[in-house]
Amino acid sequence: MTDSATNADPARAQKDASAPVIARHQAVLDELPFSDTRDFDEAARGFLGTIEDAAITAAQGRTVWSLKPYRFLSYETAPATVDPSLWRQSRLNMHHGLFEVVPGVYQVRGLDIANMTLIEGDRGVIVVDTLTSIEGARAALQLYYQHRGEKPVTAVIFTHTHTDHWGGARGVLDDEALARSVPLVAPDLFMEHAVSENIIAGPAMLRRAMYQFGPLLAKGPRGQIDCGLGKSMAAGSVALLRPTDLIKATGDKRTIDGVEFEFQMAPNSEAPAEMHFYIPRYKLLNLAENCTHNFHNLLPFRGADVRDALAWSKYLGEALQLWGGKAEAMCGQHHWPVWGTERIDTMIRQQRDLYKFAHDQTLRLMNHGLTATEIAETIQLPKSLDGAWHARGYYGHIRHNVKAIYQKYLGWYDANPANLDPLPPVDAGKKYVEYMGGAAALLTKARADFDRGEFRFIAQALSHLVFAEPDNQDARHLLADTFEQLGYQSESATWRNAYLFGTQELRHGMPQVPARSPMAKDTLAALATSQIWDVLGVRLNGPKAEGKRIVLNWSFTDTAEDFTLNLENSALTYVSGLSGSADAAFTLPRTVLDEVIAKLTSFPEAVMAGRIKVSGNAMKLAELMALMDEFPRMFEIVEPKRTKVS
């Protein structure tokens, strides 16, 4: 929402940076080495060409990706509403197009939050990571063809399990390529983790990701400018393809299209399944997303398994042992490459020590009895790391990464019984407001603290008031103003986005967005049948299923699989094989089930067409499906839930 759209209501208008925020920005300018411009030289090195404004559209004309809204980043000096360090990173992330890393290795950067790496082999090109969207991947490959000539894709490598690295695979692999069995190489347990991270918990993650990435914020100096790793997430079509070749051990090698790859496993680092590789032919090292130009997240705001900082550090140390002094170029799947053995080894060492320092010092302070919030207030990076641009907290941040480490070892509970079973936000909010002397008294104190720049506590206090009195407009607007100032002063792009998105929702309510599209048929086809049953189990409304017992047999003619689905004790379980006492039995190709879930057909239509054979009481399936929840695309975060969930 722009200023012009809110002039009619000054309380909802975007505000200027306050004096405390401006003073903080000046301190950043004084403390950090802004005269070091090497990153700008390396981000531009090897540029071959691009698409104007990196603009990508879907077949229907919808914008999938564009950097045109970010043209305001052309100014070198940061405005008062943006941390100068974050402004610098945001400008670096504006480089877009096709770049030569070394002759024979190319990257498409800036057409997505992630990079596509293209490695030329003897017969064609090997694609490493396929961006988020099919449309983006197709555009990236065409840009490569424009400058390097058209050649077949001879393999696809997925470095890890996050959607921005595999979602666009169908943009580089058409039906003909799949028919000739182009290898899809990925780390071991790729499918298991891709499903658990992106599908089973997907609805909640997608909503929370709006706060992390800020896609619905206006682009500009008072809004979304970056997310640290890149600009934002692409908005195109996504499909998951099942890998055909899994890398299972460090030291595994593959010769792909005449090019030898040496692999290193890095599970439970930036992703639960992730791997690195080195290519002797090109003296090229790729550390996937484990050695990028920022301090990464150990627990992203969208949610995920807590990442293992100690293991992460060890993998980087192992990479140094394996390839230190050998690699002459290092590129990752975000940001820009670095060149020269000394530069590469130094960056890896510093990144190694960044994660080790965060881990060890969190554990040290934890063992002194400090809680997660106390550790975040205490810990400071050593000057050797704090002054390294690639160690800055643009995406992750030391203050929330130490809390993730604490959570990994000790969980959410800080051992203080006062925090063992606190009241939920609405009930607690009402009591806090009562204890503080009522809403008017709380607001008076908060306004005085606002002028002093004490934004962190104001946010805590006013959040209680908003949950106690969600229709109190003075409370909502002052909390929005407070979040806004916290966003303006944040060096971390994810913190900025979260604060500013909270601001927007307090001022204007939850955005209205289209319903979520059905899961793509290609993605469904990649899932094991057991994973489909797992997804169904998560949708079961336990209270509605109280006292019900349903047993269904499923036989899939194309995969030769048999399953029994069992609803009992308000839990949906499954086993291989068929039950002799099922309420109903269904015989069908697994592909038909995929079509039903993708809403390309309905179950009754498939039965009428003879594609599904049914015996027994078919209404038992309808009874089971009536117990399933449909997950909303949006739900309240900075205010009470309007709809009761049971």
Q: Does residue 469 sit in helix, strand or coil? A: coil
Say if residue 545's pLDDT is above 90.
Answer: yes
pLDDT at 188: 98
Q: Give CA–CA dist 98/44, Å, rounded.
A: 10
Place 85 in a pLDDT band, splitting at 50, 70 and 90. very high
Arithmetic mean of pLDDT, 552-571: 96
Least confident segment among 198-207, 245-254, 264-273: 198-207
Q: Check which CATH number belongs to the domain holding 584 and give it.
A: 3.30.1050.10
Q: Which of 637, 464, 480, 488 is nearest to 12 (CA)?
A: 480
Say if residue 7's pLDDT is above 70.
Answer: no
Do the domain assignments include residue 564?
A: yes
Looking at the structure of the chain, the number of domains it has is 2
Say if residue 4's pLDDT is above 50.
Answer: no
Structure tokens at 319: 């990479």
Say if residue 282's pLDDT is above 70.
Answer: yes
Arithmetic mean of pLDDT, 566-588: 96
pLDDT at 5: 44
pLDDT at 404: 97
* pLDDT, tens digit (0-9, with 9 covering 90-100), for 124-138: 999 999 999 999 999
Say if residue 247's pLDDT is above 60.
Answer: yes
pLDDT at 2: 43
Least confident segment among 65-79, 358-372, 502-516: 502-516
Place 1 in a pLDDT band, splitting at 50, 70 and 90. very low
Last residue of a domain, one of 345, 370, 389: 389
Least confident segment among 9-18, 124-133, 495-504: 9-18
Last residue of a domain, one of 341, 369, 389: 389
pTM over 0.95: no
Do the domain assignments include residue 310?
A: yes
Structure tokens at 562: 């048999």
pLDDT at 201: 77
Arithmetic mean of pLDDT, 526-546: 92
Do the domain assignments include residue 502?
A: no
Q: Which of 138, 132, 119 is nearest to 162 (CA)?
A: 132
Say if residue 523's pLDDT is above 90.
Answer: no
CB-side exposure of 157: number of CA atoms within 13 Å?
Answer: 26
Q: Give CA–CA dist 605/119, Å, rounded.
A: 46
| CB atoms near residue 321 (< 10 Å) | 8
Arithmetic mean of pLDDT, 277-302: 97
Place 285 in a pLDDT band, splitting at 50, 70 and 90. very high
Arithmetic mean of pLDDT, 631-641: 88
List, as one string, the DSSP characters of 308-348: -HHHHHHHHHHHHHHHTTT-SEE--SSS--EESHHHHHHHH
Last residue of a domain, one of 336, 363, 389: 389
Look over the chain and give the mean of its residue pLDDT values, rounded to a whole number: 95
Place 644 in a pLDDT band, splitting at 50, 70 and 90. confident
Do the domain assignments include residue 456?
A: no
pLDDT at 102: 98
The residue written with tokens 């039903």 in the block is 596
Do the domain assignments include residue 275?
A: yes
Do the domain assignments include residue 486?
A: no
Q: Which of 377, 385, 566 is nearest to 457 (CA)?
A: 377
Arithmetic mean of pLDDT, 260-266: 98
The alpha carbon of residue 436 and the mean position of all alpha carbons in its chain are separated, in whole angstroms, by 38
Q: Give CA–CA dist 93/393, Å, rounded.
A: 15
Taking the CA atoms of 208, 212, 213 and 217 in sequence, report the sign of the dihedral they define. Answer: positive
Alpha helices per DSSP H over 119-189? 134-148, 175-179
Domain assignment of residue 384, given as a range? 39-389
Alpha helices per DSSP H over 452-579? 455-468, 473-488, 493-508, 521-526, 529-539
Q: Does residue 564 sit in helix, strand or coil? A: strand
Do the domain assignments include residue 321?
A: yes
